[in-house]
Amino acid sequence: MQRAVKSLTPFDFRSDFSGAQATPAVIEDDPPVRLTTPELVQLLAEARAEGAATVRAEQACDEAERLQAVTNALNEALANLVALTGHLEACALDEGFSERATRLIRATARTIIDGQGDLFAAQQSLKSDPSRG
């Protein structure tokens, strides 16, 4: 027995792997920003102040790092002078030489500690003074 088809109805076929189409999102434009002249001046002043503060902070950080490096170098120089003094005292060389070397070391240490003058001036004065040696 066969059945006769009397009418066809359309079938809305969708794949099982796709969802229903979402409606496209409507993107709204931001409303225009309106500032008065005093508000704009205040915003610019705040931006300048923040920028200047950032620059000052970075400069202060750089200066602190530089000063720390100089301090470390000076501490190392002083430690070397202390070690040199100990070695000279242990050598028991000529008394005049030892006294001049000790004076040079003390003058150099004083210059390093005070942070004043030329580090090499004391050394040159001791080398060029014929009465000392």
Instruction: Say what the pLDDT of residue 66 is.
Output: 86
Instruction: Say what the pLDDT of residue 126 is.
Output: 47
Instruction: Say what the pLDDT of residue 117 is.
Output: 47
Instruction: Say what the pLDDT of residue 132 is.
Output: 43
Quote the CA–CA distance of 55 and 117 in Å, as a whole number.
32
Instruction: Say what the pLDDT of residue 123 is.
Output: 47
Q: Which two tokens stand for residue 103?
A: 């004076």
- Phi, psi dihedral angles at 102 (to 5 degrees): -65, -40
* Residue pLDDT tens, the chain, 133 long: 677 777 777 777 666 665 556 666 667 788 888 889 999 999 999 999 999 999 999 999 998 888 888 888 888 888 888 887 777 777 766 666 677 777 787 877 777 777 654 544 544 554 555 444 4
Nearest to 106 by CA among 81, 83, 80: 81
Instruction: Say what the pLDDT of residue 92 is.
Output: 62
pTM (two decimals): 0.44
- Asked if 119 and 112 touch (Cβ cutoff 8 Å), the reply is yes
| Nearest-5° Cα angle at 100, 94 to 106 | 130
